[in-house]
Amino acid sequence: MSKSVLILGALSDVGTALARRFAQSGHSVVVAARQTEAAQNLAADIAIRYGTAAKAVYFDALAYDSHADFWAQLSPQPDIVIAVFGYLGNQEEAARNFAEAQRIIHTNYTGAVSILNIAAQSMEQAKSGCIVGISSVAGERGRQSNYIYGSAKAAFTAYLSGLRNRLAHSGVHVLTVKPGFIATKMTEHLNLPPLLTASPQQVAEDIFRAVQRRRNVIYTLWMWRWIMLIIKLIPEGIFKRLKM
Half-sphere CA count of 9, side-chain side, radius 13 A: 21
| Known catalytic membership, residue 87 | no
Tell me phi and psi for residue 63, to 5 degrees.
-90, 70
Helix axes 200-212, 13-24, angle to 10 degrees: 50
Q: β-strands 54-58, 4-8: how paired?
A: unpaired
Choose the catalytic residue: 50, 87, 149, 219.
Answer: 149
Per-residue exposure over 82-98, b if at least 16 CB sit within 10 Å of its own CB, e if not: bbbbbbbbbbeebeeee
Q: β-strands 130-134, 54-58: how paired?
A: unpaired
Active site residues: 149
